[in-house]
Chain A
């Protein structure tokens, strides 16, 4: 147990390293999904390149054919008119030209990248073109400047999208959640610098930092006496590494420490050691749970969440532990349980983050629902006060409200940076580039502006390195932008819901 002296000096040199490692950990927590998505995209690129590089030639000859027809007609006109009056002749020629033009437009609509045969030897379906197509497909941006024209290509697109879209969205949501947790951690760390470094001994939390620190220390069952005085955050035994927020496996790690229990035995997960100091934490928990109560009660978008129907049982288990805490927890979780459908009986004792956080509103979720963790964890049948303590403490992190302004500012800055870069590369105006960035990041993706300066119709061997770099940078920008949006959803969601419910309350609309 380290002393109370703040080891800020120890922290600063390692900050960047820890930030980087935090980011890496966030990424690696989703590593399986990320690898899967990458492989999927590569395979898809190969597939579409194979399927679609064939029929370009036919379309071009369609234009050629219509040109020849126009020519024939013009000759017929010239022949027919015995005396060439300019006006007559011009009128008829205009008609023919208009017909020719509409045939070009129609052909171009069929194959949007129809190039004059002289210019284009390559179709747009090179490997890089197919790669970009796949990426825009599964991120649901869907520009449309390149779209499949063969029947096989369309069928493959349907199948590929049906599987790829949920996969990618799950991956993005997971990455966004990890990043959100990291951001919260960083915010906590940033704001704590302003907080005077007085650790109270009576257990009242300054911010949620102390709870955060408690939570960091939890997975070391032997050191229960750490709760008597709040050790500083610089405790650096290897155990804390695992318990850091931002670690995806946190919950499961906490639970795995418990003695193994059969699935239905709910009492086995009691961690006695951590409860050594309940009275000190009771007041903290009180504030915690009451906060959560307010937030929880106002959550609107509760889809059918499974919770075990053993709330009653949980109460009796916890009573011997510490009356105040458990009562509060039970109350809160009991109230939560009322919100849920009564016939959800579930052995959910593993509150791992689900692949589909469906409780939150989303087109398909980019919002990672921390609520589901709270609710599920709250009603985990095995949860004694210890695990509830851990949950509540962890929820302290999630209650760290990063102000809305900062998140929005971050997004705006990201769009502006992208706009600057694209307007430089593609010779668009700044407004057009910003419009493009916004439309692409909102995954609307009209396709009127597409960064295709690297997708020229030159031979692929002539593509210079800079064009590849551009393409990779563009894709990276889009993907990272989507992750940022997922993160900001996850960060803002609580805020927005709370504010809306407060608004509704003040307007007298809600039922509370």
Chain B
């Protein structure tokens, strides 16, 4: 909805602000400000917000990597110490016990190993996962991490361990979530409009034959068409199917697990037991492309959810209203019937009593 500016005032063809009727000279500062303004405005349009989100994620990834990579690995040290102790006690056992007495040796070693296992398990419970911070916070992992923070999915397979990491996570979330919400809203609107237009076009195309059939002239019937919820569900199902196949092939998950991952991510639950990129880091070849595709996939999924949400709302609202109307009519009918019935009986009783008198 552009306003029409008087063309006489246009000196710079494309670099016009809204109130360009006042700008006559080619002030460079004005140009720059105008450019800046346009840029900011663009950033908040649909395309711009997408780019904003991507930039924010990348920035966040770099930041978190930097913060968390240098964190002292206390847990790794501890586990190393545990292993050292275990090996020492094993050595002591081996030295002390007569080596040819296998059963005694086995018993004792089993005990030591069990203790070792318990210690490792409790270390795992406090977050140890066998990798150092350097390995854990690779760029793909950090990117997935920042994505999971501001989309509120929250996988949790990598978590910040340092104090600064946690504080910066909170700050990152505080700013990232509104940006994401903006993206969600914009993307949803755009996709919903596109989809609705597609659907209506398809619908009209298929209907045009009918109208020709009914009456001689084509009357443009302006009827409100809601995109049915089933269409939205089909889109989502198709998206999940794509994801299933993709992740099944890349991550070697079975199809149920891939579907499970897709749905859990789409619903923004994000358990973190399956995360793409956990294995991708292992296979360095072609990992960047896969990572980019993962990233886009998750973002697109959110947009699709927003779109379906927009579209289904109308449908649900219409249906709920219809339901309520029906219920109301039904109730009115029933009330009417009851009152009529009661009036009849009252009248009947009155007549009876009058007859008796």
Contact = CB atoms under 8 A, between A and B. Distances in A.
Q: Do A and B come from one complex?
A: yes
Interface of A: 63, 67, 70-71, 74-75, 78, 84, 86, 89-90, 93-94, 97-98, 100-102, 104-105, 108-109, 112, 114-116, 118-119, 136-137, 140-144, 147, 151, 154-155, 157-158, 161-162, 165, 260, 263, 300-301, 303-304, 306, 343-346, 348, 350, 352, 354-356, 358, 360-365, 431-432, 435, 438-439, 442-448, 507-509, 511
Closest 7 CB pairs of A and B: A361-B185, A444-B154, A142-B269, A446-B156, A358-B313, A144-B271, A447-B156
Interface of B: 1, 3, 17-19, 37, 40-41, 44, 79, 83, 86-87, 90-91, 94-95, 99, 102, 105-106, 109-110, 113-114, 116-118, 120-121, 124, 127-130, 148-149, 151-157, 159, 163, 166-167, 169-170, 173, 177, 180-182, 184-185, 188-189, 192-193, 196, 222-225, 256-257, 259-260, 263-264, 267-273, 302, 305, 309-310, 312-314, 316-318, 320-321, 324-325, 332
Given A354-B313, A364-B309, A442-B177, A104 B154 contact: no
Contact of B152 (A100, A352, A355, A442): A442
A444 B256 contact: no
B209 to A, nearest CB: 21
Nearest to A300: B185
A507 B37 CA distance: 7
Contacts of A350: 321, 324-325
A508 B148 contact: no
A243 B95 CA distance: 88
Contacts of A361: 181-182, 184-185
B114 to A, nearest CB: 7
A435 B314 contact: no
B152 to A, nearest CB: 5
Contacts of B312: 356
Contact of A442 (B3, B124, B166, B173): B173
Given A74-B109, A438-B170, 4 more contacts: A105-B124, A345-B222, A355-B320, A445-B154
B175 to A, nearest CB: 12
B129 A105 contact: yes
B48 to A, nearest CB: 12
A355 B129 CA distance: 43
A344 B227 CA distance: 12
12 contacts: A93-B87, A93-B90, A94-B83, A100-B117, A144-B155, A157-B260, A158-B263, A354-B316, A355-B317, A361-B185, A363-B151, A442-B177
Contacts of B260: 154-155, 157-158
A254 B129 CA distance: 61
Contacts of A300: 185
Contacts of A162: 263, 267
Contacts of B94: 78, 84, 89
A363 B180 contact: yes
A358 B117 contact: no
Contacts of A158: 259-260, 263-264
A264 to B, nearest CB: 12
B222 A445 contact: no
Contacts of A119: 118
A111 B167 CA distance: 30
Contacts of B257: 154
Most chain A CB within 10 A, of B83, B270, B324, is at B270
Most chain B CB within 10 A, of A100, A154, A358, is at A358
A336 to B, nearest CB: 14
B117 A104 contact: yes
A63 B269 CA distance: 29
Contact of A446 (B106, B155, B185, B305): B155
Nearest to A116: B118
A263 B325 contact: yes
B152 A443 contact: yes
A170 B351 CA distance: 56
Given A361-B184, A444-B154, A161 B105 contact: no
B237 to A, nearest CB: 11
A81 to B, nearest CB: 10
B91 A89 contact: yes
A144 B156 contact: yes
Contacts of B40: 507, 509
B307 to A, nearest CB: 10
Nearest to B315: A356
A140 B166 contact: no
Contacts of A507: 37, 40
A126 B225 CA distance: 49
B197 to A, nearest CB: 10
B120 A104 contact: yes
B86 A84 contact: no
B99 A71 contact: no
